[in-house]
């Protein structure tokens, strides 16, 4: 079982930065990739970034390229989302998700952490 737990959300001004953390609960041996998704009020949940655990390969949504960085710390068994140059449109609940294989999508989800970016 994999149970991601997010932290690090909060209220920041436009142009500011936040770093979100996702605790994998020491289940990294079973993780193929981790992803960050977000859901803004009244909108569908959208892909933000992914990282393949073993290789460190990353992918990003076009809307966050150049501003957000996903990374992992193997020693801490933690995945991060560094968010810079934040915009009001980044306001959303951010979710960490885990996949245990390449072909199964993301069946394991955290509870979400709120990120609010003020003008």
What is the tens place of the pLDDT at every residue in 64-96?
Answer: 999 999 999 877 778 999 999 999 999 999 999
Closest CA to 34 of 50, 22, 19, 18: 50
Q: What pLDDT was estimated at residue 117?
A: 98
pLDDT tops 90 at residue 119 = yes
């Amino acid at each position: 079982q994999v149970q991601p737990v997010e932290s690090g959300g909060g209220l920041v001004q436009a142009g500011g930065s936040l770093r979100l953390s996702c605790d994998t609960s020491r289940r990294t041996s079973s993780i193929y990739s981790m992803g960050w998704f977000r859901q803004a009020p009244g909108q569908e949940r959208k892909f933000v970034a992914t990282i393949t655990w073993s290789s460190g390969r990353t992918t990003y949504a076009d809307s966050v390229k150049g501003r957000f960085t996903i990374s992992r710390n193997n020693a801490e068994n933690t995945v991060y989302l560094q968010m810079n140059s934040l915009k009001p449109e980044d306001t959303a609940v951010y979710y960490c998700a885990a996949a245990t294989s390449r072909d199964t999508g993301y069946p394991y989800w955290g509870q979400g952490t709120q990120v609010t970016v003020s003008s």
